[in-house]
Amino acid sequence: MKPVRKAVLPVAGLGTRVLPGAKTTPKEMLNIVDRPILSYIIAEGRAAGIEHFVFVTGRGKNAIEDYFDHHPELESQLEAKGKLDILEAVRADLPRPGEMSFVRQMAPLGLGHAVWCARDIVGDEPFAVMLPDMLMHADPPALAQAVSAYNEVGGNIVVVEPVPEGQAHKYGIVALDGDHPSLNRMTGMVEKPPKGTEPSNLFISGRYILQPEIFNLLGDQGKGAGGEIQLTDAMARLMALEPFHALKYDGVTYDCGDKIGLLRANVAYALQHPELGDEARAAVTALLAG
Ligand code: G1P
C-alpha cells in the first residue's frame, strides 16, 4: 500500500461568507488568535506525515505564497532588535525547500475542479485533501486519524461528523453500511441534498484520503449541486470501483469560512493557548459579565 505523502489544499474560494474581511486577505489567512488559519492546517498535515502540500490557489491569493516564504526585511529587523522569540514564531511555518507547490484554478468551477487542477503534481499515488476552512481540533489531529484508518483498511477515507440540526442541505452527506463508532464502509454520498432527503446525519467535514483514480473521474465530471463540479459526485462514482470508508473522527470542528465559526475558533483556541489562555479567559469572562 502506497503511503499518503501529499495533501491538496483548495484555497481559491472567494470567502463570500466572511466578507468584507476576506476581500483583500484570503479567508485562509484570517487570524485565529496569533496565526493564520493555514498555519494550523499545515501543522496538522505535517503531524500526519504529509511531505508535500499542493495549494490550488486563485487570483488575489498571493498572500498565501508570500506567507510561506522568507520576509528578509522583517526577519533582519527582528534579529537586529533581538526579538528572537518573535523571529522564531515568524519562521516556524516556513516550508522545507520544495515542500509546497502552487497551482492556479483559473475559474471558480467547484471543489472537484479545484482538486483536479492538482492532478499532475500529485501523480499516481494516494493523497489527502484538506479543506482549510474547516479547523479541526483533535488529538491525534484529524488527518492523522484518517491516515491511521487508511493504514488499517486502505482505499479511500472520508472524515465525517454529525451535522448541526437543519444544516444537512449545506454539506456533503454520507450513507453508511453499519454503525461502528469510528470506521464504517460507505454505501453512498450526496452533495447538498434537498432538505429532508439526507441519507444520514453525517456530513463530510473536510479531510479526505483519495486514490489517484479520482482524477480521471473528475476530468469528465459534469456539474452537480450549485452548478459546480463536485468532488462528492466523483467520489460517489469511484465508490463503484473502490472501497470508501467514513471515519467518525474524535474532535471538534470549527467552520472558519463562517463569521460565527471563526469567532468560536478564536475563543476556543485562545482559551487553550499555553501563554495567552489565562488572560483570554479573564477577558472573555469580563465581557460576558458586561
Ligand atoms: C464542501 C464539500 C462538502 C463538504 C463541505 C465541508 O462544500 O463539497 O461535501 O461537506 O465542503 O465544509 P462547500 O463548503 O465548498 O460548499
Q: Which three cell numbers stand for residue 52?
A: 508535500
Is residue 142 within 8 A of residue 249, CB to CB? The reply is yes
**Over 90: is that where the pLDDT of 250 sits?**
no
Closest C-alpha to ligand 1, atom 8? 172
Q: Which three cell numbers stand for residue 287?
A: 465581557
- Encode pLDDT of 130-152 as tens digits: 999 999 999 999 999 999 999 99
Q: Which three cell numbers stand for residue 255?
A: 467552520
Ligand 1 center from residue 87 Cα (angstroms): 36
Pairing mode of beta strands 244-248, 202-210: unpaired
Q: Which atom of ligand 1 is nearest to the CA of 110?
A: 15
Q: Provide residues with CB under 6 Å of ligand 1.
A: 111, 131, 133-134, 171-172, 191, 203-206, 230-232
pTM of the model: 0.96
**Phi, then psi, of 118 in degrees rounded to 5:** -95, 5
CATH architecture of 6-159+204-289: Alpha-Beta Complex (3.90)
What is the residue whose three cell numbers read 522564531?
88
- Encode pLDDT of 49-107 as tens digits: 999 999 999 999 999 999 999 999 999 999 999 999 999 999 999 999 999 999 999 99
Q: How far apart are CA 52 and CA 89, in angstroms?
A: 21
SS3 for 142?
helix
Q: How far apart are CA 229 and CA 224, in angstroms?
A: 6
| 149: enclosing H helix or E strand | helix 142-153
Q: Which three cell numbers stand for residue 116?
A: 483536479
| Mutation probe of ligand 1 site: the residue of 11, 105, 111, 200 with most atoms within 8 A of C-beta | 111
Per-residue confidence band for 167, with pLDDT thresholds at 50, 70 and 90: very high
Q: How far apart are CA 248 and CA 119, in angstroms?
A: 27
